[in-house]
Copies of this chain bind each other. A is one copy, B any other.
Amino acid sequence: MRNSDNPRISSLGYALLSLLARRNRSGYEMSHSTSPPLDSLLWSAGHSQIYPELAKLADAGYVNFAAVAQARRPDKKVYRLSEAGSLALKSWVRQPPKPAPDRRELTVKAHAAWLIDPAEAAKVFRDQAERTRAEILEIGAYHDRLQTQSEETFPPRADEPMFGTYANAIYALDSRRQLVEWCLWVAEQFDTAIEVGRKSA
């Protein structure tokens, strides 16, 4: 612990502490838990954000690390949650989350879609439905692997470490299924507008 005047921990910082609360990991491994297709189960971030964030957490004493040499692989730094990190994380979890700002390009496109040809607009939303279906398959595949590989009960009980990942997978799947339905409904509305336009022409 170099700098002990507890600097503020970012949301990403807490996400990393939460990963380390389950088991020790390298930055490389953590960056995979925050990148597609698994980012929806925790927090989205690229490796270029992870490495500096881990350095900050280590400097503040919330995590420690040890360099581990590997045969025919580059060395890695394996991080471990400190007592201070564990306390900070548990205290943060009890606080109400700050509201997630709504910032989806699809919403803006829906707002402006009346400006373009209805057939093209319908395509935008049907294509989105397709991409979202692909995401559902990827998250579903991860969920199935969870189930197969789990040594504990499945689904995990709420006091077991994997419960959060399970619950977040349920949420990610449900919200994407809902998005697919909505996209197809929007596309249908544009189809109807095409028909109406044809009649009045």
Contact = CB atoms under 8 A, between A and B. Distances in A.
A110 B159 contact: no
Contact of A93 (B15, B109, B131, B179): B109
A158 B114 contact: yes
A114 B159 contact: yes
Interface string A111-138: 1111110101100100110010000000
A170 interface: yes
A107 B171 contact: yes
Interface stretch (A57-65, A67-75, A140-148, A160-168): A160-168
A89 interface: yes
Contact of A178 (B104, B163, B175): B175
Copies of this chain held together in the complex: 2
A43 interface: yes
B174 A43 contact: no
Interface of A: 11, 14-15, 17-19, 21, 36, 39-44, 86, 89-90, 92-94, 96-116, 118, 120-121, 124, 127-128, 131, 157-161, 163-165, 167-168, 170-172, 174-175, 178-179, 182, 186, 189-190, 192-193, 196-197
- Closest 6 CB pairs between A and B? A97-B105, A44-B101, A111-B164, A18-B112, A158-B189, A158-B193
Given A14-B108, A21-B112, A39-B101, 13 more contacts: A18-B111, A19-B111, A40-B102, A89-B112, A97-B124, A102-B172, A110-B167, A111-B164, A112-B164, A114-B164, A118-B159, A171-B179, A175-B175
